[in-house]
Amino acid sequence: MGRKFMVGGNWKCNGTVEEVKKIVTTLSEAEVPSEDVVEVVISPPFVFLPLVKTLLRRDFSIAAQNCWVRKGGAYTGEVSAEMLVNLGIPWVILGHSERRLLLNEANDFVADKVAYALSQGLKVIACVGETLEQRESGATMAVVAAQTKAIDEQITHWSNIVLAYEPVWAIGTGKVATPAQAQEVHFELRKWLHVNAGAAVAASTRIIYGGSVNGANCKELAAQPDVDGFLVGGASLKPEFIDIIKSAT
Ligand code: PEP
């Protein structure tokens, strides 16, 4: 079963109105493979979602970087899945390691968010990944399997989820996983899906890699059989993001 290549651009907590307009203009002018070949999803901070939605080329899609775990209400500072749906935002990134680590988002909490977002009709980029300490102690697969299992236990189907394998030690550090390291974990994650969610889920679920992807290293990573695309942080704010999108072909 073919898995369409996906490239997500996570802008994190960056940007001004002027910068957003500049990035979106650069994206609009770029020649990239068609949307049949690569799905591009741009994820600006919440406050810029309406602006980006208005200006962004129609063959690119949009994701929020987070949403609240339940229906909105008395949760100061939160943004609900219903609000994203109301704005016409189709995707949300959940479980990013910056939120897991800095805001103590536990596996079950992330899984609850994934299930709730799906129930409201959002599609989810669900992030998993190990710290350097966990990798060095040989716990990589146990960690990402536990994160994935928590999600699997809360959801009824995987069809609207993309798994993003993002080793924490590679995020924003310039220290990218080697193609072999990425492939190894993606392969193991797909095997985990096969055993626990079934052959069809394993064959169809996209597993994308994130962590210091740039214009220079994307081609080799993209060539790995179980790497179905990228979630890009720092480089998604730069023109080289176009080269990363082009690595799909
Ligand atoms: C990310 O934040 O999802 C990410 C992969 O960041 P970077 O590309 O900057 O490492």
Q: What is the mean pLDDT of residues 161-169?
A: 98
35 pLDDT higher than 70? yes
CB of residue 226 inside a 6 A radius of ligand 1 = no
Instruction: Provide the sign of the torsion angle of the four alpha carbons 226, 231, 234, 237, taken in this order.
Output: positive
Q: For atom 1 of ligand 1, which residue has the closest CA? A: 233
1 pLDDT higher than 70? no
Pocket probe mutation, ligand 1, options 6, 7, 12, 165, max atoms within 8 Å of Cβ? 12
Q: What is the mean pLDDT of residues 167-183?
A: 96
Q: For atom 2 of ligand 1, which residue has the closest CA? A: 233
Residue from 82, 26, 16 nearest 55 by CA: 26
Q: What is the mean pLDDT of residues 154-182?
A: 96
Q: What is the mean pLDDT of residues 84-94?
A: 98
pTM of the model: 0.97
Euclidean distance between CA atoms 165 and 185, whole angstroms:
8
pLDDT (0 to 100) of residue 27:
97
Euclidean distance between CA atoms 66 and 174, whole angstroms:
24
Q: What is the mean pLDDT of residues 201-221?
A: 98
pLDDT (0 to 100) of residue 176:
94
For residue 191, report the phi and psi dihedrals to the nearest 5 degrees: -65, -40
Euclidean distance between CA atoms 67 and 149, whole angstroms:
20
pLDDT (0 to 100) of residue 249:
87
CB of residue 234 inside a 6 A radius of ligand 1 = yes
**CA–centroid distance, residue 2 to ligand 1 (Å):** 26
Conformational region of residue 220, where left means phi above 0, alpha means psi within -120 to 50, and beta covers everything else: alpha
Quote the tokens at residue 44. Answer: 């600006």
What integer best gives the mean pLDDT of the chain? 97
249 burial via Cβ count (<10 Å: 0-12, 13-18, 19+): exposed
| Ligand 1 atom at minimal distance to the Cα of residue 164 | 3
pLDDT band (50, 70, 90) for residue 2:
confident
Q: For atom 6 of ligand 1, which residue has the closest CA? A: 233
Greatest extent of the chain over all pairs of C-alpha atoms, in Å = 48
Strand partners, 207: 163
Tell the residue number behind the tokens 């899609």, with chain if given: 61
Active-site position among 39, 96, 98, 130: 96
pLDDT exceeding 70 applies to what percent of the chain?
Answer: 100
**CA–centroid distance, residue 117 to ligand 1 (Å):** 22
CB of residue 233 inside a 6 A radius of ligand 1 = yes
Question: Distance of CA 110 to CAs 39, 103, 152, Å?
Answer: 24, 11, 11
CB of residue 166 inside a 6 A radius of ligand 1 = yes
Q: What is the pLDDT of residues 106-161, one digit of tens each?
A: 999 999 999 999 999 999 999 999 999 999 999 999 999 999 999 999 999 999 99
Q: What is the mean pLDDT of residues 173-185?
A: 96
**CA–centroid distance, residue 43 to ligand 1 (Å):** 12
Question: Distance of CA 58 to CAs 44, 54, 76, 146, Å?
Answer: 16, 9, 33, 37
pLDDT (0 to 100) of residue 97:
98
Active-site position among 105, 130, 166, 186: 166
**CA–centroid distance, residue 6 to ligand 1 (Å):** 15
Euclidean distance between CA atoms 183 and 181, whole angstroms:
6
Q: What is the mean pLDDT of residues 18-47?
A: 97
Catalytic (active site) residue 157: no
pLDDT (0 to 100) of residue 103:
96
Question: Distance of CA 213 to CAs 34, 123, 228, Å?
Answer: 21, 23, 13
CB of residue 232 inside a 6 A radius of ligand 1 = yes
**CA–centroid distance, residue 240 to ligand 1 (Å):** 14
Question: Distance of CA 125 to CAs 19, 122, 175, 201, 215, Å?
Answer: 25, 10, 22, 15, 22
Euclidean distance between CA atoms 121 and 116, whole angstroms:
9
**Among the residues of the chain, which ranges form H helices?**
17-29, 49-55, 81-87, 97-102, 107-119, 132-136, 140-154, 179-197, 199-204, 218-222, 241-246
Q: What is the mean pLDDT of residues 45-56?
A: 98
